[in-house]
Chain A
């Protein structure tokens, strides 16, 4: 396995980098504020809190999302969905359409701004009872849902 997404996988929508940057930045903001408060309290020489926290913040909120994006990938087959994610903790999951119970398409406020959506498929298994695929273009997510649903219907006939 190479470091990058294997060629047979489709990448997520590039806007996923931006949305996940925004989400992480907002989520971690309290730490920055906290560091700022400590800085103001003048407990230690100037910069002891704020500088490392800001550096870490920039790394986690700017660099990490781009990296995460590179390691996500999916493949929509005719009868199965494959989702690959993670570098340090690599996960490569396949769910056959024939085992999917129901399908969610979620859109948060940030996602909506950038026209993204998250596809979640639910199976009956205890392991991986939900398989999540974020960062899809909303239209793609809907099309995938329809394809999966149609496949389920077809299987039955």
Chain B
């Protein structure tokens, strides 16, 4: 069964094992719904012909064709359990040979859907930390084979790293609270979460369910009539004079503001009530929620980067939020782990410290981007604006002077770019990468260099001429892109980081200590 071949295996080679032949049948039956449309189209195509016998022939032909291709696919599919890796070779015309080293396999899952189960078959999935989620699936093998594979891979993995899972996994009761939010802090966060979403929701609901209402919601005249019945009329509103109208408008405005704040506070209370972040032996543990309590544990070694965010107003009071970018394994959604929704910088750095991330030692190690980068973007806006102005004058017969207003856009853009340039900082020290960006929502991303997966220097047609480049770091669960660097700086940073990254293996850094 299990040849442990040493040399390279040819892609077109006939080594390795086939899937179970009965899997063909299971795949065929579960794939039947997909054949519905081709069948329908084919039948529709021949419905005019005089020969009714064609229809069963066509059905048979489509089914046979589908079965034939499945059989071809089955014939061309091989998997091979090697000394260091699992190999899967597949494809009818396009041949793909995938090699998954044992050390990278995070999990082997065995799934049995009803039909497969009746036939004693199961689906085996090998999951790695790969970014695109599509790893390798054996569809289908017998249950014994599935269990054998799983046991084998566990044994191989255990043999590879004996010390890996010796960390005590006992829940210690004296877990240390590293961050908590009291009612007052949740309330402050609520104020910052000003939101008018309630109107969107109400509007959406009204539109969805307006047939349930006994009247037409969008009939303004009716509303005016309703107001009139209760003693108000459009004329009364018009009659209260300018001052009265102002007061009414002011009242409407204040209630809008009030509703906005109230929504923010209520939503925040529902989500963040009793926020507590503790440090357990398994990693971070976060408990929060008023009605729906959530309790999420994230192992510290899975933290790939930290994102410290703040807004223009909350920054004045020293409030920041901290999120961890993580290696999403179980769920693709939880790749951002909110560790502190509203905290002072001291608290933020204390939490980050637990994950082995520290703050920048000061602004001097952070550098500004080359202003040229923003100037070019600005200049690129000029031609379209000029064209638009010319088009207005020529085709719409506008006088020249009003079109100059379009240039105001340029002024606005200049301001935005200037703000962006002024806030933007990048840098690195011995262990970490730093990137600060955004002048309204300000974010500082900090990534340990060891967690970098790949580094790319990218240049567009214009930036290449000017000797500028951007540096893209591949990080599991997030991105980090430094822009507006001179090419030589980009190359220097890349080689410095690469020296550290290449020296340590992936499995060594994402292992629980």
Query: Contact check: which of B98, B160, B454 meets A156 at CB < 8 Å?
Result: B160
Known: A92-B456, A94-B454, A149-B101. A155 touches B505 (CB 8 A): yes
Among A108, A142, A156, the residue within 8 A (CB) of B10 is: A142
- Kindly state the separation between the CA atoms of A143 and B475 in the bound complex, as whole angstroms: 28
Query: A124 contacts B505, CB within 8 Å?
Result: no
Task: Let me know if A64 is at the binding interface, CB within 8 A.
Answer: no
Of B8, B135, B459, B474, the contact of A142 (CB 8 Å cutoff): B8
Interface stretch among B268-276, B365-373, B477-485?
B477-485
Q: A97-B502, A127-B479, A127-B481 are in contact. Are A109 and B454 (CB under 8 A)?
A: no
How distant is the Cα of A116 from the Cα of B475 in the complex, in angstroms? Answer: 31
CA distance A125 to B510 in the complex (A): 13
Residues of chain A within 8 A of B494, CB atoms compared: 94
Chain B 1-38, CB-CB to A under 8 Å as 1, else 0, gives 00000001111100000000000000000000000000
Interface size on B, residues (CB 8 A): 61
* Distance in Å: Cβ of B160 to nearest Cβ of chain A: 5
Q: CB of B130 within 8 A of chain A?
A: yes
Contact yes or no, B101 A124, CB < 8 A: no
A105 cross-chain contacts in B, Cβ below 8 A: 11, 96-97, 99
With a cutoff of 8 Å between Cβ atoms, the chain A residues found around residue B452 in the complex are 99, 125
Sample (13) of A-B pairs whose CB atoms are under 8 Å apart = A88-B460, A88-B464, A92-B456, A96-B498, A98-B501, A99-B506, A107-B11, A123-B131, A126-B479, A127-B474, A129-B131, A142-B10, A152-B84
B508 contacts the other chain (CB 8 A):
yes
Q: Is the CB–CB distance between B85 and A149 below 8 Å?
A: yes
Report if A123-B474 is in contact (Cβ < 8 Å); known contacts: A90-B459, A128-B456, A155-B508.
yes
Which of chain B's residues have a CB closer than 8 A to the CB of A75? none
What's the nearest-Cβ distance from chain A to residue B153, in Å? 14
Label chain A's interface by main secondary structure: mixed
| Contact across chains for A80 and B498 when beta carbons are under 8 A apart | yes
Give 14 new A-B contacts, CB below 8 A, not counting A103-B98, A112-B12. A90-B464, A91-B456, A95-B453, A98-B504, A99-B474, A102-B135, A104-B96, A108-B93, A124-B130, A125-B131, A126-B131, A127-B481, A129-B130, A149-B84
Known A99-B506, A105-B96, A127-B456; contact A152-B472, beta-carbon cutoff 8 A: no
A146 located at the interface, meaning its Cβ lies under 8 Å from any Cβ of chain B in the complex: yes
* Cross-chain contact B94 with A128 (CB below 8 angstroms): no
CB pair A156–B161 under 8 Å, yes or no, is yes
Q: Of B104, B129, B455, which is within 8 A of A94 by CB?
A: B455
Query: Would you call B98 and A104 a contact (CB within 8 A)?
Result: yes
